[in-house]
Amino acid sequence: MAQVKSIVFRYIMTYYNRRRIYTANPGGLPPAMYCQAARGLAA
């Protein structure tokens, strides 16, 4: 069961969060792109 959880977690963090539209972020950016953009503005 732990292996299945690990696989699902990796899928969500590496693929799904880079593709999905997220309406809470400005412009509907996926979470990974939003974090990257926020880091770029802070630097």
For 28, the domain range is 2-42
pLDDT of residue 43: 53
Of 32, 1, 27, residue with least CA distance to 15: 32
User: What is the number of structural domains in the chain?
Assistant: 1
pLDDT of residue 5: 94
Nearest 10 degrees: Cα torsion 11, 24, 36, 13: -10
pTM: predicted TM-score of the whole model, two decimal places:
0.45
pLDDT of residue 17: 67
1-22 pLDDT, tens digit per residue, is 999 999 998 887 777 767 777 7
Residue 43, Cα to own-chain centre: how many angstroms?
A: 20
pLDDT of residue 28: 79
21-43 pLDDT, tens digit per residue, is 777 777 778 877 888 888 887 65
